[in-house]
Structure 1
Amino acid sequence: MSYQCIEFSIKEGVATLTLNRPETLNSFNVKMHEEVWEALDRLMRDDKVRCLLITGRGRGFSAGQDLSERRPGPNGEAPDLGQSLEVYYNPLVRRLRSLPMPVICAVNGVAAGAGANLALNCDIVLAARSASFIQAFCKLGLVPDSGGTWLLPRLVGRARARGLALLGDRINAEQAEAWGLIWKVVDDEHLMQEAMALSRHLSTQPTQGLAYIKQALEAAEGNDMDAQLDLERDLQRAAGRSEDYREGVAAFKEKRTPSFTGK
């Protein structure tokens, strides 16, 4: 399938999704949402895909929503921004977080508004040294969306979350790393090389087990200790029945590198 707003490819177990509207800093319009959704459908139909890498084309990762699609109507009626979240952003966030494989994000430039929060919803975020993150919503009288109000306090704590959300200040990649907002800063010229190396590594790992880890960590945000212990028991029981567990144990005993199939 040919795309207008994204690039999408699958190679060596890694699906690479590149936002491709560089003239708008990869801001999201309806067409981009539709193409991203179709690409996610496509990777889920391919059982060889064991990791997803997301990045952006040009000098920015994503500036969030394309505001030209959210202007008042011809009679001055306000756009329904809640509907935009209900139809597009919220389903995308839920789907990214629930994918049964690691999701890596390589932030190649500015990530603002929903663009920042979509990046932060990925499992591991690498950022170019020149990248920056902006919770730009307050500049427009809006609320951080795409999970922003849930993510920020958990990633950086209450005080910093409120500062980021209420002030809308730009923070650079080094500060984002120091605050625990992202995993790692990488020199610009090495960003994609390191992101791809990480993605290829993860695509060789026990994918089902990694999916169980994601499920456990996600549930931990709302569980008490007893509920989490029960979940760990149930997931460990399922993981122990996987082909990858058998392979991992055999490789350990035979002192060789395991060859995981992701099953």
Structure 2
Amino acid sequence: MSALVLVERDGAVARLVLNRPARHNSLVPELLRALLAALDACEADDGVRALVLAHAGPSFSTGGDVRAFYQQGENIAAYGAELVGLLNEAIVRLAACAKPVVAAVDGTVTGGALGLVLACDIVLVSARASFTPYYVDVGFSPDGGWTAMLPAFIGSARARSVQLLNQRISAEQALAWGMATKLVASIDMADQALASARAVAAKVAGSVRRTRALLGPDLPQLLDALERERSEFLQQVVSTEAQQGMQRFLSQGSQAVQR
């Protein structure tokens, strides 16, 4: 079986690639554990000065794997607690990483995958990138930073509208609203992400680390907010609404966010 997260080295830059393309890089515990292990290895390697978080296939990640949730049956609460707990850990680890992280988003981002992007320092998006919550359509409660992080980027009013109406945020909107750093052509994404990571890696490491710490979120506050999301998620995911929503979502076979 292929590694769920590939680690590719280019000098002082490590490229972490979400590698579950057949399932649109939807999140399962195994993938999140692989991401955490990759972050551990990169942080322990003094030769790594910057990271790129990228993806294989047409989607950055479609968030939690709805089919995997649905297949849990009576174990769904325990599965949800594990998955969202690992997701929260990955988001906080990215935000707290001593080394800067560039996100290369050349496809769809839905559900809890949003937090993996918002935790990065520099976010490059192509015209193929988009961000959609889907919670109120599937019947889940927001996780992955949709309430814990997004309002700080786009404001409370926009965050409420996007989530309550399940609105899609285009790449252009993400750039205008402060979620993304730069719009680049898909064909140039890998090179642009590597160039950005190399540029930061060439700076004074201690200064970069302290700048990130000062500009980044209050980590205990972020963790508290993410854990509040997890608590609400676990209460909702066992509901009849969630069961019916998963059935409906899976029966639709959405091409945009196929899980």
Provide the residue aligned with 2:83 in structure 1: 84
Any idea what the Cα deviations from partners look like across 1:169-208, whole Å, max 9, x if unmatched? 1121011111112111111111111111101111111122
Q: Distance in 2 between matches of 1:59 and 1:222?
A: 34
Unpaired runs of 5+ residues, structure 2, are: 222-259
Deviation at residue 166 of structure 1 after TM alignment: 1.2
TM-score (norm. length: structure 1): 0.78
- The answer to whether the 8 Å contact 1:72/1:79 transfers is no
- Give the structure 2 partner of residue 174 of structure 1: 172
Aligned twin of 1:62: 61
Answer yes or no: is the 8 Å Cα contact 2:96–2:219 preserved in 1: no
Q: CA RMSD in A?
A: 2.1
Between 1:154-163 and 1:166-175, the stretch displaced more is 166-175
C-alpha distance 101-222 of structure 1, shift in aligned 2 (>3 A): same
Aligned length: 220
Counterpart amino acid of residue 48 in structure 1: G
Aligned-residue offset at 1:105: 0.2
8 A contact 1:8–1:17 mirrored in 2: yes
Q: Which residue of 2 aligns with 1:144?
A: 142
Between the two proteins, what is the percent identity of the paired residues? 32
The structural deviation recorded for 1:156 is 0.5
Q: Measure, in 1, the Cα distance between the counterparts of 2:182 and 2:92.
A: 24
Aligned partner of 1:247 in structure 2 is none
**How far off its partner does 1:3 sit?**
5.1
Partner of 2:245: none
Are the structure 2 counterparts of residues 77 and 9 from structure 1 closer, same or farther at C-alpha, using a change threshold of 3 Å? closer
Mapped partners of 2:174, 2:81: distance in 1:
28
Q: CA 1:196–1:136 in 2, change beyond 3 Å: closer, same or farther?
A: same
Distance 2:163 2:67 in 1: 23
Asked if the contact 1:101–1:208 (Cα under 8 Å) also holds between the matched residues in 2, the reply is: no
Alignment of 1:216-227 (within 5 A): 216-218=214-216
**Matching residue of 2:233:** none
After superposition, give the CA deviation of every residue in 1:82-101 in whole Å (9 maximum; x if it has no partner): 34322x11111111110011
What TM-score do you get using the length of structure 2 for normalisation? 0.79
The answer for the alignment partner of 2:126 in structure 1 is 128
Q: Is the 8 A contact 1:109 1:132 kept in 2?
A: yes
Query: How far 1:77 moved relative to its partner?
Result: 5.8
Name the SS for the 1:149 alignment partner: coil
**Paired residue for 1:244?**
none
- In structure 2, distance between residues paired with 1:177 and 1:219: 20
> Whose relative contact order is higher, 1 or 2, with alpha carbons under 8 Å and at least 6 apart?
2
Q: Please show how residues 1-263 of structure 1 align to structure 2 within 5 Å.
A: 4-71=3-70, 73-74=72-73, 76=74, 78-80=76-78, 81-86=80-85, 88-218=86-216
User: Structure 1 193/139 Cα, relative in aligned 2: closer, same or farther at 3 Å?
Assistant: same
DSSP 3-state at the match of 1:17: strand
Specify the alignment match of 1:235 in structure 2. Answer: none
Unmatched segments (≥5 aa) in structure 1:
224-263
Amino acid at match of 1:32: L
Structure 2 residue aligned with 1:237: none
Give the aligned residue type for 1:16: R
C-alpha deviations, 1:76-119, integer Å up to 9, x for none? 56434234322x11111111110011111000100111122211
Asked if 1 retains the 8 angstrom alpha-carbon contact of 2:28 and 2:83, the reply is no
